[in-house]
Structure 1
Amino acid sequence: MKKIAVIMGGYSKESLISIQSGKVVYENLCRKEFDPYRIYLLKEKWFLKNDENKEYSINKQDFTIFGGMKGLKFDCIFNAIHGTPGEDGILQAYFELLKIPYTGCNFHHANVTFNKKYCLTLLKHFGINTAESFFLNKNQVFCTKKIIDKVGLPCFVKPNRSGSSLGISKVYKEKDLDHAIQKAFLEDEEIIVESYLEGREVSVGVFSFKNEVIVLPITEIISQNDFFDFESKYSGKSKEITPAKFDPNIENKIRKIAMKVYKFLNLSGISRSEYIIVNEEPFFLEINTIPGFSEESIFPKQLKAIGMSLSEVFKDSIFTSIDKMKK
């Protein structure tokens, strides 16, 4: 029976969402094949929590356990951490050094996809439509007029490396741009200002299963707020339609683009990418290589729409990861 460390938490404001996802993973791992453990990786401490809620500290040198469970070694890490250090490549590189198999893409591809600037630049090179954008560093002197001249109004201001729409603002007037930029800088030292795209917003799950890449049914997102922000995602302030109702030609176009993005980025495991459909053309927004697995999350709903279970997807992801590390 494979011993699986389900890691959750992380160092960002997405930590609580990650713990919800980790709980879903833990509950959906088949006990006939896996012996799962809940591992919390937080800024202040790393620890294992058993079924009696007793905590055991993690030895960061080799990812083993101190105390009464000393000697426990894991066959695979199931990564359920959204944001840093689980989605940006840091933990992937750590587990590579320790030669412990882990789910999802490797550290290089995780770093590229989590960094919006890198990801957008790469996909533009491959001909994927994206919004016009302007990149800023925290210590850079900038002119709001030059930014507006390039991206127009309204526009979005986003932290370059952050998830769950944290720190994002929609700006309608130039006088409000500086405040939005400073808000984004609270989340990251690099930000992106993007043109607003008028159209229908969709999310598409793409994942590897039994050596085949599968594109899931498309979800259309209709937010009750001004855009699909943190509240919309996690407080029921959005309507999510799965499968989305599109003309078959447009649906096919979205699915093909989602598949191309997954392959252009050399991804493996589970992902969910988001697009705005403008005049029947998909424009790429961003991609999550560790999407949410909670009841409110989109990926599980898309799986359910084709009659697949989280349990079988998780199982395949684990065994694929173990096989990959052997090569």
Structure 2
Amino acid sequence: MKRRIAIIAGGDSSEIVVSLRSAEGIYSFIDRDVYNTYIVEMEGLRWEVKLPDGSMTPIDRNDFSFMENGEKKVFDFAYITIHGTPGENGLLQGYFEMLQIPYSSCGVLPSALTFNKFTCNQYLKGFGIRVAESLMLREGFEILDQEVINKVGLPCFIKPNLGGSSFGVTKVKTAEQIQPAIEKAFDEAPEVMIEAYMEGTEITCGCYKTANKEVVFPITEVVTENEFFDFDAKYNGQVDEITPARISDDLTERVKLLTSAVYDILGCSGIIRVDYIITEGNKINLLEVNTTPGMTVTSFIPQQVKAAGLDIKDVMADIIEEEFINQ
């Protein structure tokens, strides 16, 4: 019997459109000769599974089952590709653990920790990992422009502390831009992160581990003429993504070792992607950790899988089958 796989997309943030694209990518990556795959869309209380004929039918949230041709069916595995809440912050992970349904991503704690950029970076800073100077604001908090300048300087980035895909992010160059940028970020999330700007080369590195092996993918260098790696750069082609990155062998090895260490420090599972910026003197500065990285056909992870000479179907099988080894 083929395992029945739910590819879970959607979510309750601006990243829903990206998530749906990732679901289509994963659907194409998983070997359908080996697995029965279904895309499940979640948006608020609308949980629906797409059937082979293209129709949608509701999910029973009591046991994550659905009806097909008059027969109740349950899933053997959930591949979570929601970018944002509830799939990236530990909520869905807790739900699936309570139902004892294996899933693809990190557990509840590492998911919740990495989703909160400020908290995650401060935690990793305690392990000696370099991160930018930053501040965090919650709704109702106010900060003077001069306080921002004194703490993190200009230019700086003001962005939602909970979210991704560069929604609500502003590169701030003048004091007059600070408060409008904070308001824009608060439109996306109840917490805002103010982060010092770092000049350098932006790179990203994917990684996953199983009981039998560790895979750290080739590093991708990110080059854009835009002010920063914004939504248009990420999803509308306004960027050059160079894999492997044009950095030295020594620096490549250091980044890969650090990525592997971050995976272990956080207690990650499944595929993660860690973003960095290399500043003067080949200093490696961590930007953020993505535990449900984009998986469209043009996303970083599929690019890195290809550059590593691996078959994406084998990688997907590794992620799925790892959860059944000890059962």
Normalising by structure 1, report the TM-score.
Answer: 0.96
3-state SS, counterpart of residue 322 of structure 1: coil
Quick check: 2:67–2:73 contact (8 Å CA) kept in 1? no
3-state SS, counterpart of residue 246 of structure 1: coil
Q: Give the distance between the partners of 1:213 and 1:123, measured in 2 at CA.
A: 21
Normalising by structure 2, report the TM-score.
Answer: 0.96
Q: Give the distance between the partners of 1:311 and 1:290, measured in 2 at CA.
A: 17
**CA positional deviation for 1:28:** 2.3
**CA positional deviation for 1:209:** 4.2
3-state SS, counterpart of residue 72 of structure 2: coil
**RMSD over aligned Cα atoms:** 1.4
Residue correspondences, number: 325
Quick check: 1:56–1:69 contact (8 Å CA) kept in 2? no
Quick check: 1:133–1:193 contact (8 Å CA) kept in 2? yes
Quick check: 1:224–1:239 contact (8 Å CA) kept in 2? no
One-letter amino acid matched to 2:312: L
Unaligned runs of 5+ in 1: none
| 1:40-97 deviation digits (Å, cap 9, x = unpaired) | 1112511111121111111111111157454201111111211111111110000011
Aligned to 1:2: 3
One-letter amino acid matched to 1:316: D
Higher mean displacement: 277-286 or 244-253: 244-253
| 1:119-167 deviation digits (Å, cap 9, x = unpaired) | 0111001000000001111111322211210100000001111011111
Q: Give the distance between the partners of 1:323 and 1:56, measured in 2 at CA.
A: 31
Q: Give the distance between the partners of 2:45 and 2:105, measured in 1 at CA.
A: 25
3-state SS, counterpart of residue 325 of structure 2: helix
Runs of 4 or more consecutive aligned structure 1 residues displaced over 3 Å after TM superposition: 66-70
**1:248-267 superposed matches below 5 A:** 248-267=249-268
| 1:202-239 deviation digits (Å, cap 9, x = unpaired) | 01111124532221111110112100011100000011
| 1:240-289 deviation digits (Å, cap 9, x = unpaired) | 11001112222222222212111111111101110010120110000111
**1:1-327 superposed matches below 5 A:** 1-43=2-44, 45-66=46-67, 68-209=69-210, 211-279=212-280, 280-323=282-325, 326=327
One-letter amino acid matched to 2:259: A
What percent identity do the matched residue pairs reach? 38
3-state SS, counterpart of residue 59 of structure 2: strand
One-letter amino acid matched to 2:258: I
Task: Note closer, same or farther for the CA distance 1:43–1:120 as it changes in structure 2 (3 Å cut).
Answer: same
Task: Note closer, same or farther for the CA distance 1:184–1:69 as it changes in structure 2 (3 Å cut).
Answer: farther
